[in-house]
Amino acid sequence: MIQFTVLTLFPEMFTPLNESILKRAQEAGLVKIQFVNFRDYAISKHKNVDDVPYGGGAGMLLKPEPIFAAIRDLPQPCGRRRIILMSPQGDVFRQEKAKEWSEQEELVFICGHYEGFDERIRELADEEVSLGDYVLTGGELAAMVMIDAVVRLIHGVLGEGTSAEEDSHSNSLLEYPQYTRPADFEGRQVPGILLSGHHALIKRWRRKESLRRTFLRRPDLFKAIPFGVDDYPLLEELILEHEEFAAYQALWKHLRPLPKRRRKTSPHPQEKQ
């Protein structure tokens, strides 16, 4: 079970987490999501949580006292706890991060708002993470996205027989094309191999299409793929289908099969004569 604790001024924004798979995961006791409104920790009479920046400038910054007090008031962690600050200045959230977090016992998200937060709040966090290179009005949507990505990796959250391991980004590759019924939709056919029932060939086709798709859509990811020996023939085929692949041959050169040693054959008895 993973416990998510979200420090936010707007807990009502998180209602989407009470739908579908996330709802079922909570009902099944696989995850617990709780909210702390750090306005409750504001010390001023008017419960102010923000103030103007020293040195001037536009907007209001979250004050340190309420967030420090909210973190200090968290119960002792029952296991591994990570405190994560939502920030457009942090490391960009990726699938590997979701995987890493899915092995924690408690994740605490601090959601900023307004113009940002007092610099000293950064000290509270084990890490600072960004949803992407753009600026949101607050950390709530970013935290929701990250919670969703982590929850679906927790064992038992996806239905029996459903695996997150083949999803895009789980193994540096984009997922292969997927089809469901009908086999023929207005003349658009499902690739015959998928109807063949031949598991080994289907597996090969999928790997090849994943390699192709990653190369064509995300060359940045393609360069980081840990190719295996079985990829060698697929990549050689892809070179014939897309000339541009050839420029990357150095990436899998080490997988090239060694030329077969010629067996020393003794001359045919008749040749000796």
Ligand X SMILES: C[S@@+](CC[C@H](N)C(=O)[O-])C[C@H]1O[C@@H](n2cnc3c(N)ncnc32)[C@H](O)[C@@H]1O
For ligand X, the binding residue among 132, 182, 191, 228 (CB under 6 A) is: 132
Q: Is 107 in the site for ligand X (CB under 6 A)?
A: no
Task: Compute the least distance from the CB of residue 134 to ligand X, in Å.
Answer: 6
Q: Is 8 in the site for ligand X (CB under 6 A)?
A: no
Give the separation between CA 73 and CA 1, rounded to whole angstroms: 22
Tokens coding 250: 């150095």
Catalytic residue, candidates 64, 65, 81, 115: 115
Closest CA to 152 of 168, 163, 138, 141: 163
- Say whether 167 is catalytic: yes
| H or E stretch at 201 | helix 199-217
Give the separation between CA 129 and CA 221, rounded to whole angstroms: 20
Within 136-198, residue ranges assigned H as helices are: 140-151
Q: Is 138 in the site for ligand X (CB under 6 A)?
A: yes
For ligand X, the binding residue among 67, 104, 108, 139 (CB under 6 A) is: 139
- Say whether 152 is catalytic: yes
Partners of 221 in the beta sheet? none
Task: Compute the least distance from the CB of residue 59 to ligand X, in Å.
Answer: 7
- Asked whether the beta carbons of 7 and 70 are under 8 A apart, the reply is yes
Task: Compute the least distance from the CB of residue 37 to ligand X, in Å.
Answer: 15
Task: Compute the least distance from the CB of residue 94 to ligand X, in Å.
Answer: 13
Give the separation between CA 132 and CA 65, rounded to whole angstroms: 28
Catalytic residue, candidates 128, 167, 175, 237: 167
- Positions that interact with ligand X (CB under 6 A): 86-89, 111-113, 115-117, 130-132, 134-139, 142
Which residue numbers are catalytic? 88, 115, 152, 167
